[in-house]
Amino acid sequence: MSSLLHSSNSSTVIVSPARGFRGSVTLPGDKSISHRYAMLAGFAAGTSRLTNFSTGADPHSSLGCMRAMGARIETVGKTIEVTGTGGRLHHPNRDLDCGNSGSTMRMLAGLVAAQKGSFRFVGDESLTVRPMERIRKPLEQMGAKIELTDGHAPMVVHGGELTGIDFETPIASAQVKTAVLFAGLQARGVTSIAERVRTRDHSEHALRAFGATLERQNGRLSIAGGQKLTAIDATVPGDMSSAAFFLCAALLFEDSNLVLDALGMNPTRAAMLDVISAMGGTIKVLDVQETHGEMAGTIQVNRGRALLGIDIAGEQAAQLIDELPVIAAIAPYTQGGVRIRDARELRVKESDRIALVVKNLRAMGAEVAELEDGMDIPGGQRLRGGVIDSGLDHRIAMAFSIAALRAEGETEIRGAEAASISFPEFFVWLNELALR
């Protein structure tokens, strides 16, 4: 059993070893899609109805910021209704509080950059040390002015009339791409973006769903300014990044049987399914449908042979950036180990995820080599229960709860409440799926 122990400032979860992993779940709405739908619905004309919106705290920070800028937001049963501002955001009478959400801060900066006035963005302690310079450069090239504090939040965006630019992203970042697209939607002329590594394309699908026209030619994505958005009705597919934890749990047991319903299967997020197959999982796709450009389906996952190691680098590392912590957490149990390269972006997430993964693997008795842009984790190791420092990072807390399922003895996850940032139901569902 998992048990929740409360202390004065944080919570601790005790995860016991399991003997199997079986069951069926429908995951909360995709966090990345929920962010984009919240922002565009709040910006569009009319009332959008969003079903299966993410239950995580981060997308609700986006909703809160849109409410502060004039959108009307109501919850009706399992649907969130967002009445937008018709393209003219109200000047907020307070700071825009992004909480723990870098997605909210970076992407909304692009949306407000073309609006008159100054918008001050703040966040929690973790968010104030994450890099924001990456969005300042393109938005200032377009004509906005952005004030940062040593390259970080608090951030003030002084909006105004923008002009389209040709921009090549220096790093693989869907958030930077989105900020530029949101600004380009309102700029004079055409804005084009070239990516060295193709990132998740939820923004492109969302913009088209709300009525915008985008073109992709010769590897460049372009959007013409002056386009108007109109409300939509949409169901958000289940979150692949949340599914990654249960997918990895299914790999730990030979007789596992996991069914995930209405799971988002966007091709730019499907790298995780490729990894599950490469590591010894068997995936059956039972149903697939497309809505607003996003694919969703039901999959069944089993593991009938050995848990295999894998090397992850280059474009694959960029595509799996959110899933790498849990892949690393189960790496000691593999045959052959896991090697991760080209993942330096992990160091500037909610925590330094490379450092925390290494620290916590060692706390469970694993041998691991830390690199600047990744790690080497030998296979064929046994883990023992230990004390895990989540660093109040949701993905670290959940990743090591999965590793704990095969450990010898109980594992203590400190700062477990961080899971609510993206997946508040995680520990309840983990307890239901793990056989003990």
Whole-number pLDDT of residue 1: 44
The tens digit of pLDDT for each residue in 59-110 reads 999 999 999 999 999 999 989 999 999 999 999 999 999 999 999 999 999 9
Q: For 425, what's the count of Cα atoms within 13 Å in the CB-facing half-sphere?
A: 14
Q: Cβ-count burial of 287 within 10 angstroms (0-12 exposed, 13-18 middle, 19+ buried)?
A: exposed
Task: Find the DSSP H helices in 44-148.
Answer: 57-68, 102-112, 133-142
**Alpha-carbon gap, residue 378 to 372, rounded angstroms:** 17
**Alpha-carbon gap, residue 413 to 402, rounded angstroms:** 11
First CA to last CA distance, the chain: 7
The tens digit of pLDDT for each residue in 116-162 reads 999 999 999 989 999 999 999 999 999 999 999 999 999 999 999 99
| Residue 42, strand partner residues | none
**Cα dist from 155 to 105, 106, 337, 352, 417, whole Å:** 9, 10, 42, 22, 27
Is 376 designated active site? no
Whole-number pLDDT of residue 148: 96
The tens digit of pLDDT for each residue in 215-250 reads 999 889 999 999 999 999 999 999 999 999 999 999
- Residue 272, pLDDT > 70, answer yes
Q: Which of 322, 342, 389, 393 is catalytic?
A: 322
Domains of the chain: 3-26+237-253+307-435 (3.65.10.10), 31-234 (3.65.10.10)
Q: Cβ-count burial of 76 within 10 angstroms (0-12 exposed, 13-18 middle, 19+ buried)?
A: exposed
- Span 387-397, average pLDDT: 97
The tens digit of pLDDT for each residue in 105-119 reads 999 999 999 999 999
